[in-house]
Structures are given as C-alpha cells and as structure tokens.
Amino acid sequence: MKYKLVHKTKYKYAQAVNNYHSLLCLTPRNLPNQSCSNFSIQISPEPSQIVERTDFYGNKTHYFSLHAPHKELTVLTTSIVERSEANTGTLFMPSDITCSAARHRLVSDRSLKIALLEYMLPSPLVKWDEEIVAFGRDCFVDGVPLYECVRNLCRKIYTEFDFVPDFTTVHTPIKEVLAARKGVCQDFSHLAIACIRSFGFATRYVSGYLETLPPPGRPKLQGSDASHAWISVFIPDCGWCDFDPTNNVVPGERHIVTAWGRDYSDVPPLKGIIFSYGKHTLTVEVDVIPV
C-alpha cells in the first residue's frame, strides 16, 4: 500500500516569540517492509536553514531555529511511503521460543545483552514497581511462547482500558494510567513496555501513523488520521516483533513507522525551546491518504 502522509502542526502564541529552537522527528524510516520515496518540510516563518541528522537510534531528524519575533508557527511535512504486506508477514512470523528460554538467551549471550540493554532498563518515561509487575504477571508464564505472552498482555490492556483522548499528557505517570484504566496509545505502549521489561525482555517504543477507516459509506474527514504509538519486542530466533496494544493487533500495512527509541521522550514529533512568556495553543492535523 502506498500512502501520502501530511502532518501539520500549528502554534499560536499570546505574546511574540523572539527565539525558537526545534527538533523534528517526522521522517518515516526506510525498512525492509517500508520505503519513504519523498519527504519535504515547509516552515512558516521560514528559518534560515534546516539541518538534517541521524540520531543514536537511526531516526532521521531535522533541526531549525527562528530568531525574529513571531506569534504563529506552522510546520508542514509531507511524505510518500510504501508499505509491503508481504514483507510484514515474514517479519512478524510467530516464534515458539518460551519465556524462560528467551530470558536465558538474553542473560547468557553477553553480546546480545549489551546490544539490547538500553531497551531492558528503566527509561525516562518507563519505570515499574510491584503493582505494574503484578498487572502483567498472569500474562508471562515460563513455559509459554514469549510471542504469545506479549499478545496476551496486549489483549489484557485492550480489554481492561478505555481509550480516552486528552485524559493524560506526555508527563502522566504509568501508575496513574494503571489506576484510572484509561489513556491513549502512548500510555498503553508505555504500560506494555514497563510490564515486558520488568520480566527481563527488551522492548522499544515505536512512533508512527495509522490509517483510520471511516464508517461504511462515509467519506474520510480531512485531518482525521492520527499520530500513533505501539511497541516492538525482541524475541530470540525471530528478531524485533511489533504489537499494537491500543488496538490489540499485530501492526500491518496501515501502520507506518516514523521512529523508535526507549520511550516517547526519545522520539517526540516536535521538541522545541521558546524564549517568550504567556500562553500558547497547539493544533495538529494528520492525513494518511492512500495513493
């Protein structure tokens, strides 16, 4: 499936901003089952330069700064991405390796453990305690395949939690999400990562897009698609396998990968510093358009 991705972010400031520095992480990754053939950025006011770089995790980022007073900022990115369902099927083939065997492999293979360690330890937004461990304990049984255990955890989150937009922010602790039993894709991904890491397995946070389908007979509304988040778990003998706890599915051709890291703090779409005061408003519109 081929898509045109349009991501528009607009800030309005109560008081003029004199200086602004921003880092964008919005370029879709090139993967065995995904290729990005075109990516463009339009910024208003126009910066003097946009600097491209690749971060520690292999994500492509863009830095820009503004040094003239402005009360509005618009960042528009457009991409052409092709996803291959056939390749996705091979990447997400289930593995029979059990939890105990997978854990032993991660502990006994020193080079593998060193390569994956950052995805096994607590990170800025993913920490756990006994309550979080208890939530995931019934999903992880030593003699059961690790792949099946992760699917069980995703199913549990999907079943027991409600998707409630605007209930949380990027700073809401996982413990609050667990107590309230509601949140958004970012929260459910962080909870799943915390549970899986707590049992000794490597898990990373995946940021991207999901094409949404309108009700039968209804046209898709402009801007109705959304940024999305899911997880990827390293399963020995199989590699990195993606899971979407928000929708209880294995990501397919409608899931488009932008970036990955330890948690959301590594891969926010826009991360900026402003030199001003007063309130501001933020609007984000996303379109995932089949080509």
Residue ranges per structural domain of the chain? 2-83+268-290, 86-266
pLDDT at 215: 65
Are 4 and 291 a contacting pair, CB within 8 Å? yes
Are 153 and 139 a contacting pair, CB within 8 Å? yes
In this structure, is the dihedral angle defined by the CA atoms of residues 144, 149, 155 and 157, taken in order, positive or negative? positive
For the beta carbon of residue 94, count every other beta carbon within 10 angstroms: 13
pLDDT at 90: 41
- For the chain, the distance separating the N- and C-terminal CA atoms, rounded to the nearest angstrom, is 8
pLDDT at 88: 42
Classified by CATH at the fold level, domain 86-266 comes out as C8orf32 fold (3.10.620)
The matching CATH number, chosen from 2.60.40.2250, 3.90.550.10, 1.10.10.10, 1.10.730.10, for 2-83+268-290 is 2.60.40.2250
For the beta carbon of residue 26, count every other beta carbon within 10 angstroms: 26
Are 238 and 97 a contacting pair, CB within 8 Å? yes
Are 208 and 242 a contacting pair, CB within 8 Å? no
Q: Where are the alpha helices (DSSP H) in the chain?
A: 85-91, 99-108, 110-116, 130-137, 146-160, 174-180, 185-198
Residue 120: phi, psi to the nearest 5? -110, -20
Of 206, 249, 247, 251, nearest to 230 by C-alpha is 206
Spatial neighbors of 88 by CB under 8 A, at least 6 apart, are 33, 251, 252, 253
Question: Which residues of the chain fall short of a pLDDT of 70?
Answer: 85-93, 214-215, 219-224
Place of tokens 């605007």: 166
pLDDT at 221: 57
Of 211, 267, 199, 215, nearest to 29 by C-alpha is 267
Element (H, E) at 209: strand 203-210
For the beta carbon of residue 93, count every other beta carbon within 10 angstroms: 10
pLDDT at 278: 76
Q: Are strands 70-83 and 2-17 parallel, antiparallel or unpaired?
A: antiparallel
